[in-house]
Amino acid sequence: MLDRTSVHVPSHMLTSYPSLAVYVNAILTTFNSLPVFISISDLEDVLTTSGEALLEFVRTVEDGFDGAEGDYSETETEKRGKESKVLVIRQASGVSVRVLVANLRRGVSEGVHGASLEAMDGEAGDGRKTGEKLKLVMVEWKSWLDGANGERE
């Protein structure tokens, strides 16, 4: 997900989503002015709560669209339009969560605290240990996206 650019240069994935890049930058600017008050564990709690809330929101929005499917008066075009909206919401929120988690963790550890993720986590390599709750939320996001995409396609 993250390339090995300088911590002050956003990843290519993040720059693909300008609005998300601005949002991440605003969060990191705030954290950078208060480095004593934010730690990786605090960040992971915030990301976990945010991830759970966003997943619940997306499920609620999708349920609202699904609940309207019983309307027999709608045309096939209207049904496809609803399905397209649900797909866009699902994919946009999934990308947001994946990109936010990766970039905020890196930004706080390397940019704010001046330590690599490996040093902050106490492990090296791609199998970095994230907070257990955050890890569970990310697995839940992935399984929900995979399952929802399988149902729709």
- Please state the domain extents for the chain: 12-152
Q: Report the pLDDT value the prediction gives residue 8, as an integer from 0 to 100.
A: 66
The pLDDT, as a whole number, for residue 14 is 83
Chain segment 64-73, per-residue pLDDT in tens:
766 555 566 7
The rounded distance, in Å, linking the Cα atoms of 118 and 130 is 10
Alpha carbon distance 76, 30 (integer Å): 47
pTM of the full predicted structure? 0.58
Residue ranges of the chain with pLDDT lower than 70?
Answer: 1-8, 35, 38, 40-41, 65-72, 115, 117-132, 148-153
pLDDT at position 128 is 47
